[in-house]
Amino acid sequence: MNWDQKNIFSLVALLVVLVVVPFFLERAPVPTTYQATPESMSTPAAPRRSPKPQDPSLGLLHSTNKASQGLTLYPTSGSAEVLLVDMAGVEVHKWNVDADRARLLPNGNLLVLHGSKWGLRNKPWSEMRHILREYDWGGNVVWEHRLDHPAHHDIQRLPNGNTLVLYLVEVPEVDKQRMKNPKLQSVPIRSDVILEISPEGKEVWRWEAHKHLDLESCGARDCSRLTNKQIEGKKQYDWTHINTISVLPENKWFDQGDTRFRPGNILVFPRNWWMALLIDKKTKEVVWEYNGDYKGGIVGGHEPYMIPKGFPGAGNILIFDNGRIKHESHVLEVEPPTKKLAWVYDSGQSFYTRIAGAAQRFANGNTLISEDETGRVFEVDRDGNLVWSYQGRRMRVNRAHRYPLDYCPQFRELMH
């Protein structure tokens, strides 16, 4: 072999080393922390790493044996999921639907209003605000009713099988003629209607806010300010913004002769009025109202409901006060005849949701609180001590609610 041949051979050998050796080095053995699976072997993908530890700020955050047992319905706003969660924070069931409001029925079906804040921006949910639906345990539609106007915020199934629902309307010009303020009279005003329908979809009862409330009043709030878009007719004036319809149960106040609290009367919360109102279902007139004076009174507000018989505080009304000015929310328990506070949950600015929210009293005296904007749901005892806390997703929740373990037949199957 002459000198040139030797040089050529050396250059070829060097190229082989530079190309082939790195090729084999890249195929180093899989780290022992990774267990190969048939799926990983058949899918050409990037090298897999050990799974990240679970996010400590999600799932069950706190639990004690003082918590009231049950399963918690956790409707998300951002993932088209309504979760059912056990006391350990485990998702034991799920409906793949968007829900502005979801209520579990005693037969295990889910009554739903579509169109959460997220759903309003995403199809098909953004196109389903006029539709009321009931899904069975497996997610199949078993009942549906279409409204002429968009439903919002709340829906209730009554013991007689009828359904109560809220929907939006624009105040007709004929009703605006009663107004004395020309500025308000000239703008498009959005109002609320409560409708009761039979299972067949026939109208049974109706209440229209603009027929029974003063169109120039905003309750405890000043409603004299209008935006330029409202004055120009480009945007509706959101007058009432009712977010809750809650039917009074049997209660001691009515038993004692106070007919304002007749079972079947309806509690509502017009958020933009900053007060709870009680509507007499027979006369359709407001017979009780509450804004309160705790830390200046309610600002915002959601979910007034009367605590049923057999529960601590029975007959009193729980109200979720958003506290939108001071950026601190509160839960108020009000004795309705006197309007005195029987209990308050207040933890300063560590508890705050600017929008939405709910509170629920349990038989052991504890209270479940849904801090909707943060997605946190937690339970406190009568002394305000935290006994349970859960964060299902890093997104908003729509008024979580816990159901007892004997609530529906499907729960018994989940427990086995």
**Chain segment 265-282, per-residue pLDDT in tens:** 999 999 999 999 999 999
- The residue-averaged pLDDT of 224-242 equals 84
CATH of the domain at 276: 2.120.10.30
| pLDDT for the residue 311 | 98
The percent of residues above 70 in pLDDT, for the chain, comes to: 86
In a domain, 277, yes or no: yes
Residue 161 lies in a domain: no
**Residue 130 counted as domain residue:** no
Q: Is residue 329 included in any domain, yes or no?
A: yes
Please report the pLDDT score of residue 278 as a whole number. Answer: 98
Residue 227 Cα distances to 173, 265, 347, 355, angstroms: 20, 35, 35, 21
pLDDT in tens, 40-54: 222 222 222 333 345
Residue 155 in this model has a pLDDT that exceeds 70 = yes
Q: How far apart are CA 34 and CA 49, in angstroms?
A: 7
Q: Average pLDDT in the 7-17 region?
A: 47
The DSSP annotation for 320-346 comes to EE--TTTT--EEEEEETTTTEEEEEE-
**pLDDT mean over 336-358:** 97
Place of tokens 């120009």: 232
Tokens read off for 117:
């804040």
At residue 311, what are phi and psi to the nearest 5 degrees? -110, 145
Give the C-alpha separation, 79 to 82, whole Å.
9
Q: Which long-range contacts (CB under 8 A, 24 or more apart) does 127-132 make?
A: 132/163, 132/165
Q: Into how many domains does the chain fold?
A: 1
What are the tens digits of pLDDT across the range 189-232? 999 999 999 999 999 999 999 999 999 999 999 876 778 888 77
Predicted pLDDT at 13: 52
- Is residue 251 domain-resident? yes
Is 297 part of a structural domain of the chain? yes
Distance CA 396, CA 393 (A): 8
Share of the chain above pLDDT 90, in %: 77
What single string gives the DSSP state of each residue in 106-133? Answer: TTS-EEEE---TTGGGSTTGGG-TTEEE
Rounded CA-CA distance 155/130 in Å is 13
Q: How far is CA 169 from CA 45, 270, 288, 404, in A?
A: 54, 15, 24, 37
* Distance between CA atoms of residues 329 and 320, nearest Å: 8
Residues 6+ apart with CB under 8 A from 183: 226, 231
Q: Name the one residue in this structure whose structure tokens are 């330029």.
A: 228
Domain that holds residue 347: 241-384
Residue 197 lies in a domain: no
> Which amino acid belongs to residue 215?
L
User: Per-residue pLDDT averaged across 381-389, rounded?
Assistant: 98
* Per-residue confidence (pLDDT) for residue 57, from 0 to 100: 67
pLDDT tops 50 at residue 24: no
* Alpha carbon distance 284, 211 (integer Å): 9
pLDDT digits (tens, 9 = 90+) for 301-345: 999 999 999 999 999 999 999 999 999 999 999 999 999 999 999
Q: 287 lies in a domain?
A: yes
pLDDT score, position 10: 54
